[in-house]
A and B are shown apart, each in its own frame.
Chain A
Amino acid sequence: MEKELRLMKGNEAIAEAAIRSGADGYFGYPITPQSEVIEYLMSERPHERTGMVVLQAESEVAAINMVYGAAGAGMMAMTSSSSPGISLKQEGISYIAGAELPCLILNVVRGGPGLGTIQPGQSDYFQAVKGGGHGDYRLIVLAPASVQEMYDFVGTGFELAMKYRNPVMILSDGIIGQMMEKVELGPQKNRRSREEVVKSAPWATTGKTPDRYHNIVTSLDLIAANQEKFNIKLQAKYAVIEENEVRYEEIDTQDADYIFVAYGSSSRICQSAMKIARAKGIKVGLLRPITLFPFPKKCIAEMAETKKGFLSVEMNAGQMVEDVRLAVNGKKPVEHYGRMGGIIPTPEEVVEALERKIIGG
């Protein structure tokens, strides 16, 4: 069969992927730089294409709670926003994690804090990876580095969300969301029938049948001992995710003395930086975490045995670098290089930082 190729923005690819993955519902609220997601969805009339429900909510808060309702009914539901809007969604995300509901959340990150800027950033790493909302919970966090991955991670994200009954976040940024690249589209998947939904989500509020107790979707348990037991179960689930779902990409790491650790847009900049460095005779490779939780800590720990140093390149003040340091555990130098407020680092700056902070340091 001939490949279906299209030139698309990252945000459009996400929207098309949502329709083609057989998603049941999308609930969003406009914010730059991700408004194309809902614009594209509305223009595509997904209700006619697949019967998918797309609704512009009155706020990010309402949108994430619509996702809660849809996911609680066993449906494949998603929302998207950008940094300030994702902050507003944190309460709902915590409830979704606490009620163990599967869903997909896209953050097209812009520089912060506050209203910040509309230019790209990676300053929401902590929020996405360490929790964001209240309580001991984790999101599965996928970090796309291309428009193709924006498309692909929708399907991957829904699969992981349903497999673990856990919210999944696609942590993108304003570059990946706005840039256009060639995308290979997958086939249209049918939305699941109601019978399939009931079968795959027997816990969901699909309407009580005589053969079962009524289903309850809640994150509340007032008995402390029960709540602790539930928390232990959650932590066990996260341990399984850490064991089985780590994804990363290595580029030219075999012969490398030094390693750039970078995800998303920063990893693209690092690929250019590697060419410059290697032309100068500096052997540097790239480790690109694809899942930020679970983090590829085993891979980094192994590299710490043989490599000379690590530079974590991020468009923030140094967030992922903390996880790199934990994995390296003092064995080798680990430094951070980043720009903030929507400034994108140049490959030359990155090479200069490697020479100054790691090689010369």
Chain B
Amino acid sequence: MTNNELSYCPGCGHGTAHRLIAETIEEMGIQGDTIGVSPVGCSVLMYNFLDVDMQQAAHGRAPAVATAIKRLMPEKFVFTYQGDGDLAAIGTAETIHACNRGENMTIIFVNNGIYGMTGGQMAPTTLPGMRSSTSPYGRDTILMGNPLKMTELVAQLAGTYFVTRQSVHTPRNVRRAKKAIRIAFENQKLNKGLSFVEIVSNCNSGWKLPPVKANEWMEENMFPFYELGDIKVDGKLVTK
């Protein structure tokens, strides 16, 4: 990590997620061999916080940007870091096709069910009934469509090798998430396909809840819909 002050709201999960990636890079000793791609969204400025070479991609296009970087420098560790609006709405095509081609890289997908940076609008992952500034009376799935489980979707594609869903709101979950990120980076050495780590996270500002309450709300509402755990390991779907 650099010495720059994080731009995130107090209690936001982005800072923890950043730190886990930074720790993984440090422990693997790959700082000089890692290229990151930041999205459009709250984490657009990630390149100011992580002390590795980084590119900032147009909204949703990080998997395409990362594809070219990895193809041209296959020995590098390449990752994207994207929110749910970026990855699961505007960047759906880039996400699905990078996963389906089996690009040998890592996608970190932070899902807080809302557009944080633009002020709390409805995201593709906003839960049914969940309030946002563009679903002020709650998401009506008949009018506004259903939330998208992108992680389950990409797990079905032949090009994904490791697909998991984690969170970073308790020490226990942080340890699990870190292990998943480590696997996702280590997998790049195997050249067997794409590793996809979803982190279900909070948005205190967008959800209009204090940090502790936001985490409780996340456990009660997000996790039943976005179930935590591995979905695909070593190229095989996990049977539950």
Q: Are A58 and B58 in contact (CB under 8 A)?
A: no
- A189-B66 Cα distance, complex, nearest whole Å: 27
Q: Are B73 and A68 in contact (CB under 8 A)?
A: no
Q: For A212, give the chain B residue with the smallest CB separation.
A: B53
Q: Which of B33, B44, B56, B66 has the most CB of A within 10 A?
A: B56
- A91-B71 Cα distance, complex, nearest whole Å: 23
Given the interface contacts A69-B66, A218-B47, does A25 sit within 8 Å of B53 by beta carbon? no
Q: Are A70 and B34 in contact (CB under 8 A)?
A: no
- A78-B124 Cα distance, complex, nearest whole Å: 33
Q: Are A68 and B97 in contact (CB under 8 A)?
A: no
CB-defined contacts of B64 to chain A, threshold 8 Å = 57, 61-63, 65-66, 69
Which single member of A66, A91, A210 contacts B65 (CB below 8 Å)? A66
CB proximity to B under 8 Å, residues A210-234: 210, 214-220
Given the interface contacts A75-B72, A207-B33, A208-B32, does A66 sit within 8 Å of B57 by beta carbon? no
**Binary flags per residue of A316-354, CB closer than 8 Å to B gives 1, else 0:** 000000000000000000000000000000000000000
CB proximity to A under 8 Å, residues B49-95: 50-58, 61, 64-69, 71-73, 76, 93-94
CB-defined contacts of A73 to chain B, threshold 8 Å = 35, 68-69, 72-73
For the complex formed, measure the closest distance between the CB of A207 and the CB atoms of chain B, giving whole angstroms.
Answer: 5
- Say yes or no for B31: interface residue by CB 8 A criterion: yes
- A216-B58 Cα distance, complex, nearest whole Å: 14
Q: Are A72 and B55 in contact (CB under 8 A)?
A: yes
- A140-B76 Cα distance, complex, nearest whole Å: 32
- Say yes or no for A27: interface residue by CB 8 A criterion: yes
| Size class of the contact patch on chain A | 35 or more
Q: Are B67 and A214 in contact (CB under 8 A)?
A: no
Given the interface contacts A57-B64, A58-B93, A205-B69, does A69 sit within 8 Å of B53 by beta carbon? no
CB-defined contacts of B203 to chain A, threshold 8 Å = none
- A35-B47 Cα distance, complex, nearest whole Å: 37
CB proximity to A under 8 Å, residues B28-50: 31-35, 37, 44-45, 47-48, 50
- A111-B53 Cα distance, complex, nearest whole Å: 42
- A215-B52 Cα distance, complex, nearest whole Å: 7
- A194-B76 Cα distance, complex, nearest whole Å: 12
Q: Are A55 and B54 in contact (CB under 8 A)?
A: no
B-side residues, CB < 8 A to A, are: 2, 31-35, 37, 44-45, 47-48, 50-58, 61, 64-69, 71-73, 76, 93-94, 96-97
A-side residues, CB < 8 A to B, are: 24-25, 27, 53, 55, 57-59, 61-63, 65-70, 72-73, 75, 77, 91-92, 95, 99, 194, 204-210, 214-220
A-B complex: 9 closest residue pairs judged by Cβ atoms? A69-B65, A69-B68, A218-B56, A205-B53, A65-B61, A58-B97, A65-B64, A66-B68, A70-B68
